[in-house]
Structure 1
């Protein structure tokens, strides 16, 4: 699906939203400016997703 609408002041950009799907909820949501690349995905997996799946890791 594509969203078409006017943009204030004529500027626009790309944003990427990624989230994990658990049994009963969406977890580890993360938004970045621009497109997702392999470095951004690795950062998401390491800093956001793994921390959400294993809260004990966030304290180390």
Structure 2
């Protein structure tokens, strides 16, 4: 989520990536499974996410919960 690779950039292409919430840090931050064994911290301030939820993340901001 944080790296542009080749000709594709998640941020520049206005794309959201599904990730699983592993841990919440207060109401605004969460650790997520970013794939490939990577854990990243993202903002969940705009959504009502819980541990185990899949959220759509764009530019380190969760923008929706996948149901």
> Structure 2-normalised TM-score?
0.24
The higher radius of gyration belongs to: 1
The structure carrying a bigger strand percent of its residues is 2
> Structure 1-normalised TM-score?
0.26
